[in-house]
Structures are given as structure tokens and as C-alpha cells.
Amino acid sequence: MITDRDLTITRLIDAPPANVYRCWTEPELVKQWFAPLPYTTPSAEMDVRPGGASIITMRSPDGVDMPNPGVFLEVVPNRKIVVTDAYTSAWEPSPKPFLTIILTFEEEAGKTRYTALARHWTVADREAHEQMGFHTGWGICTDQLAALASRL
């Protein structure tokens, strides 16, 4: 159920769910698509399991690093990933939780119905994320994800 705190993007990706899942869970693949160009992703560390920590760093074109720490809440290989920034690692609360991301990968005639749901802690957080360019940025990233997944 979509709420007033949610932003979402859905695409049919021309690749099987296993490829799209790999792009979200293998650090070397994450670094190839995670940031909307001209931003880059210089590092990604992930312990892909419930309770496992993740830190993905985006870098702006002017060299400013933006670390994105989080913890996996649910991992169903090739089907679903739930990750939140409410914790940083080892269930250490973050100073300012912003969102939980729910990713689903549904098989559809050899392709993947990919849905990324960004569930924010408050309506104000959702509005801020929208003003930061959620739809454009996540759209570019999803295009990059789809291109990479189709080549695997």
C-alpha cells in the first residue's frame, strides 16, 4: 500500500530477476550504476543478509563524497530486498533516519518487473526527497541498472 510518505518507481527491465538482484547485491556491480551520472560510486561494502550492514558512497562531480549507510532488514534472493538507513551497523541507530527502501524483482515473461519503493519517516522527508530530484535521479539510476542487468 502506497502512503503519503512514499515515492516509487516501477520498470519492466529486459533481464531476469537474478541479474537485477545481483546488480543490487554485488559491490562491484553496484559501483557501476548506483549514482546518477555524472555522479559516481567509488565504494560499496555490503553484508547482504538480515542485520547486515551496507555503506555505499556516492561522489559528486566536484568530488564531494556522500556515504549512504544502512542495514538490510529482509533479503529474499532474486525477489526482494528491504534496507533502511535507520541503523548504520550492528543495529546502531542513525542520527537521523530518512527512509526504508523496499525493492521487488518479479519475473514477467523472462524480464523483471522492478519496483523501488522509498518509504520515508515523515511527509516532510518525502517532500524533501522529491525536491532533491527523486524521480529524475532514481530514473537515471534505474536506466543504468537496467542497462547493466541486461548485459550480465
Rg (CA), the chain: 15
Are 103 and 11 a contacting pair, CB within 8 Å? no
Which domain, by its residues, includes 44? 6-151
**Bridge partners of 10?**
115
Instruction: pLDDT band for 12, please (50, 70, 90 cuts).
Output: very high
Helices H, strands E: what count in the chain? 4, 7
Task: Return the pLDDT at 136.
Answer: 95
pLDDT, averaged across the chain: 96
In this structure, is residue 144 part of a structural domain?
yes
User: What are the CA-CA distances from residue 139 to residues 34, 36, 134, 145 (Å)?
Assistant: 11, 8, 8, 10
Residue type, 102: I
- Residue 1 covered by a domain: no
Number of domains within the chain: 1
> What percentage of the chain reaches a pLDDT higher than 70?
100
Cβ atoms of 69 and 54 within 8 Å: the answer is yes
Residue 73 lies in a domain: yes
Local structure of 37: helix, strand or coil: coil
- Helix axes of 123-131 and 134-151: crossing angle, nearest 10 degrees: 70
pLDDT tens across 58-86, in order?
999 999 999 999 999 999 999 999 999 99
Say what the pLDDT of residue 131 is: 96
> Could you tell me if residue 41 is inside a domain?
yes
**Which 8-state DSSP code applies to residue 48?**
-
- CATH number of the domain residue 123 falls in: 3.30.530.20
The reply to whether 131 falls in a domain is yes
Q: pLDDT (tens digit, 9 = 90+) per residue, 108-127?
A: 999 999 999 999 999 999 99
On whether residue 99 sits in a domain, the answer given is yes
